[in-house]
Every structure is written in structure tokens, then in C-alpha cells.
Amino acid sequence: MNRLAISFTNFGPYHLARLRALAVELARAGGRLFAYEVAGTERRYPWRPARGDEPFEWITLFPDRALETIPKPACARAIVDALRRDSPEAVAIVGYSRPESMAALGWARRTGRPVILMSESQKIDHPRRWWKEAIKRRRVGRCDAALVGGPRHRDYLVDLGMPRDRIALGYNAVDNALYANRVESARRSPVGRRGLPDAPYFLAVNRFVPDKNLSRLVRAFALYRRASAEGDGPPWDLVLCGDGPGADEVEAAVAASGVADAIHRPGFLQVDELTRRYAFASAFVHPSLMEPWGLVVNEAAACALPLLVSDRAGCVETLVPESPCTGMRFDPHDVE
């Protein structure tokens, strides 16, 4: 396999870390990676990754468009045109619902190319309807192999008909060295903590939407602050990084908590500013009600933070195992 094509909706730091590592491995075998992103930007995740001299072909199908503005048929046509032009020997697609993924799957089947399905879906993510599962089984059955995050994702694909021996783990990865090095640099810097809370703090990094369970996290934090008032040592603060359509709900929860002065909201942060928050956090908390994986937990683990992670998160078995102890799992519905 000398020419591999892979597609994502829009490249962020996570995607670039994986693409760089994959391209290096392919190059060692004399191969070449064609990496397609559908759009130059995505409103949901306003990343601004630096575009430098990459070890892969970086191809943006709609460089001046936001993903949310591109019609589905246009996404499908553009990926097929790119595949015809570049003629890869294998294709890797994300999931089984995006139009460009389904169009790439169809092109690969018509031209006899093998298809690798990349997936991070768990059976517990949503209530499952039989007719939707039937459609998924048909689409999964057209793929030759899969790369998934962890055991729960593998089990779900097996339920959908993918042979277990064709499924590899390790899809959900970040650049561990990048985070570890930047955190170490921030901790050594005399101004690294400038603008951050003086008190120890819990850190949470999320998109502000209901599934992230941030209002319940704020209520749980308020209970902790009241309980710790009589304890030894200073009580911790809470730093909530991120933004999104649920920001007003989070703001209302903070205002009603009675501990608003201990809750900090710096907004959506790019990697440089985010790693400073990781550097001086005392623990990382991820309270999601529904979370296919949770790459921010990877980031926190790379920064050597103790992890408090919802038992609904797809990453929990891998990153918060029973042994060795890296943190604690919890029921995200229980504020106690």
C-alpha cells in the first residue's frame, strides 16, 4: 500500500498529530499520504492550526468555506473528484454517516480499493433503533478493516458485523510529547502562571453543550466548596475552558452556585493558552453524560494530571484503568 487517502471534516491539532505520525510511517515503507479536509474552518471547533511543511499532502476541498455552509452533495462530489485525481490504493474514512465518507466508500468499492473505517462510537452513546442499526450494519459490512478508540468501540463494531480480528485499537490519540513539553516549559517560566488562579484548581475543558454536563459539575463543585470550608488547606477553584451554544446555561449555573468567585471561564483557548491551564491544574475533571472518547482526557494524561472521568466516556477503560491508578471514574448523574 503505497498511496493512502484519509479524510476528516477539518484538521485540528488532534488530526495533525495523527496524520504526521502516519505519514512518517508510510514514508518509511515508501508510501505517501493524501490527507483531505472538507473545509478550511468549522464553526463548532474554531481551531487555528499552523500550516507548515508537512510530511503529507494536505488537501482542503473547500478552503474558503466553513463546514456548516457546504451542501452535502457538494462534499460528496468533491471527495470523489479528489480520489479520482490522486488515485490512492486504499482509503480511510471517518464513520458511516458523513456524505464525503459514504462517497469515498462508494468510490473505493467501485474501483476495488480496500476501505479502513475509523470509528469512536459506543453502543451506550445513544438509544439504538433497529432500522438505523440495520443501515449501519450494511455500511460497516462494506469496509475491510477498522481502527477504533478502545474496547467499547471495538465491541460495538463487532455487534455491527465487523470481524473482531480486523479491528485495531489506538484511533484516539494526541501528541503526548507536545503537551508534556509545553507544560514543562510553562512550569519553568517565571510568568507561566500569570493570569491564572492563585489557588489550586480543578480543570475542565469542554464544548459548552448539554451532553458535557457542566451545570451539574458546577453544582457538585459548589457542594465541594461548602464541605471543604471547614477542612485543612485552601479549597480549590474550578476553571471551565471552552464555549458553545450552552454558554448561557453554564453562566446561569455559575451565578446560582453561590461560589461564582471561585469559578473561572477563560473561553475557548488555542493550544498555547490551554497548555498553561494544564500546567498548573491540580486535577482534571471530565463529567460528560455522553462522550464517544474525550481527547481532552488524553491531553490531561499527557500533562500528568490526576484524572476524574465520567464512566460514560469512551476513553475511561483505557486512560483510567483499575490498575495502575491514574485517577477515578464516577457516575456523571450523581452530584454527591
| 335 falls within a domain | no
Q: Quote the strand ranges of the chain, DSSP E.
A: 3-8, 32-41, 57-66, 90-94, 115-119, 145-148, 167-169, 201-205, 237-241, 263-267, 283-286, 307-310, 327-330
Same domain, 321 and 205: yes
pLDDT band at 214 (very low <50, low <70, confident <90, very high): very high
The predicted-structure confidence for 173-212, as pLDDT tens digits, reads as follows 999 999 999 999 999 999 999 999 999 999 999 999 999 9
Same domain, 186 and 161: no
Residue 95 φ/ψ region, left for φ over 0, alpha for ψ in the -120 to 50 degree band, beta for the rest: left
Residue-wise pLDDT tens digits, 133-153: 999 999 999 999 999 999 999
Q: Which of 117, 142, 169 is the last residue of a domain?
A: 169
> Is 216 part of a structural domain of the chain?
yes
- Shared domain for 110 and 184, answered yes or no, is no
CATH number of the domain residue 283 falls in: 3.40.50.2000
SS3 26: helix
Q: How far apart are CA 281 and CA 295, in angstroms?
A: 17
| pLDDT tier, 107 (very low <50, low <70, confident <90, very high otherwise) | very high
Q: Decide which of 169, 191, 212 is a domain's last residue.
A: 169
Which residue, 122, 149, 169, sits at the end of a domain? 169
- Asked whether residue 197 is assigned to any structural domain, the reply reads yes
Same domain, 136 and 235: no
**Residue 321 grid coordinates:** 484503568
164 and 180 belong to one structural domain: no
Q: Are residues 127 and 262 located together in one domain of the fold? A: no
Is 45 within a domain? Answer: yes
Is residue 111 in some structural domain? Answer: yes
Q: Are both 75 and 187 inside the same structural domain?
A: no
Whether 187 is in a domain gets the answer yes
Specify whether 152 is located in the same domain as 44.
Answer: yes
pLDDT tens track for 39-61: 999 988 887 777 889 999 999 99
Instruction: Count structural domains, the chain.
Output: 2
pLDDT classification of 1: cutoffs 50, 70, 90: low
Same structural domain for residues 165 and 196?
no
Range of the domain at 315: 176-330
Do residue 291 and residue 267 come from a single domain? yes
pLDDT tens-digit profile of 285-324? Answer: 999 999 999 999 999 999 999 999 999 999 999 999 877 7
DSSP annotation string for 157-209: HHHTT--GGGEEE--S---HHHHHHHHHHHHHSTTTTTTS-SS-EEEEE---S
Co-location of 99 and 181 in the same domain: no
Residues 192 and 137 in one domain: no
